[in-house]
Structure 1
Amino acid sequence: MSDRFRELETPQMARTKDVVLMATVSSFENMVHPSRHELRQFAELFEPVFRASSMEARRNAVAALSGCPTMPRSVAWFLATQPIDIAAIFIGRSPALDDDTLIAVARTHGPTYAKAIAARENLSVKVVDALVALHQGQEQDRRDPADLPDSAIALARLAAMREEQLRQTIKALVQRDALVRTEEGPEQDERVQHALLIRFARLGDAHSFAITLADAMGSSHWLSQRIMLDLSGLQLATALIAIEISAADGEFMLARFYPHLKEMRGEMPRAATLWASLDAHDCADRVHAWMRADDYTQGKTDDAHAANVNDAVAEPVQRPAFARARSAARR
């Protein structure tokens, strides 16, 4: 709309456009499971109505839509790339923004958008890594750390602090049962680790799950992250079978982190079909190979691997079953 036309617009006309916008939003909010046709129709109608409305109406519409779990990708991108004072609430809360969209917004729209993304709850490992890498890349030519913006420092510390806090939480949960497990042997540790994996999968907390998986395998966190970034779910299924997770629990975890594995293939979910296609001995051999490569990988894995080694030295706790088998295989 041209500035000249806006000058001629009456308050009544402006209010009418705001009402149309909010009616469009309310109608979409009330669709529990919108069909493809309804999503396409909303995408076609929403943007022109949004652009014609007042700033206050736009903010209200964005706040309302930030709670919708399903949304056309074009609309989600449109809202996430609005000026930050409008987009912040949507970026910080919307469940309709997948990892790839969040990363793309951070890369194309700069630090203020990245800061809003960092404020989201339960950020995935993939997004945290991308945010940290983005800020490290932006600041790599700076020589004085005091010149770093607060958002870069916060993001750089975010991954390290979360990982350390989660690692300490996991240790505390294991140590809490130290008195009752003395006669039960290391199998109790494995049961605790498996219970934590189920818990973090139920919460959809990929970061905590990856740390626990690394401890259960006796590997670096870097390796468990790489396993989870395989979107087919094959690598995670392989790792879970190798550490002797039950089929029911493993299929549940796969479906939580890879929603496409909930889909039915014949009479079985795709997660069950994938699980049944894997052989336990082959999985153990494959994960052993990954871990041997992990041991000799330099640079990015050094800190995570050193942390695991230091943990083993500092605490007189038995290594997980898979890690014990790994050590035996070396001998």
Structure 2
Amino acid sequence: MRRKDVVLMATVTSFEELERPTKSELRQFAELFTPLFQASGDEARRQAVAALSRSLHIPPAVAFFIASQPVSVAAPFLIGSACLTDEMLITIARTQGADHARAIVRRENLSPKVIDALVGLRHARRTAPGEPAQDASANRVAGAEPTLSVPAKLADGPEEARLAREEALRQQIKGLAAHLNRAPGDRLGLRSLTEVQEALLVRFARERDADSFATTLADTLSASRWLAERILLDVSGHQLATTLKGLAMGETEALFVLERFYTHLKDVIGDTTRGQILWESLEEDECGRHLEAWRRADRYTYAEPVTPTVAETSAPQTEKRVAGLAPRFRVAR
């Protein structure tokens, strides 16, 4: 194994020294790299990937192979390599899961095409090995409680019956735990952020890119751009805080976002900040209800009439409807 590690690093170092590798050299590197990489240890793999993430001449097949490795190895390449095309990034995000998508979000220059793909990406909730494929949300849709596990055959005696009851009880407890400790995307029908959407919102807040933030927020809410902008225009930060808590964003990330857009929330009061006071004053369930009410009002405002008339579709009339609706978005304090 040690010998393979040395050969892998020597191969990578030799390739790095080539300023303009020829087609023959690229082909030779592609043929050598994959078997050497697979035969090497984890540390050698990480070092090789970190070194290649700075190269501008990685063959496409090798670039895709590296990007598809576990994120503990592939992260530097996903974040920094200039050899990954938009199509590769989108494919990796869709096929490799949330960890790879989060690494891609950290790239300095993401094209609108990749951003759109990441925003719209939905990571299906994976069922843990050994657990029933049907989750608590499916049971709620059916109006049932979490399902008990039924033994494959009837118990033959008192001992078998006791074991069967214990197993059924364990399954019931697991089902109740899954019901109470819901995943972020399973909050009794309330809308929640995906991991990719949260990462994008934090990224755009860090850059104070209000335009991209509003676009991502509108997509997250499945609402109009007008609603997202209306939320951001509340200079107190109260409506954005309500929105982020209603979407179940974590406190650390939410406070970072709020303080980037509304700097007065950084002000220290005693042993806390204005932002923390605002955040702790909000109840998640109530925020979720406010958010759904805003979304319904937004949907009514922008829904097309069944039989539109010229007057109904004119710009001045639309502006009147929007102006008349604005007070609905005031959050009760």
Greater RCO between the two (CA within 8 Å, min separation 6)?
1
Q: Which has the higher helix share?
A: 1
TM-score (norm 1): 0.43
- TM-score, reference length from structure 2: 0.42
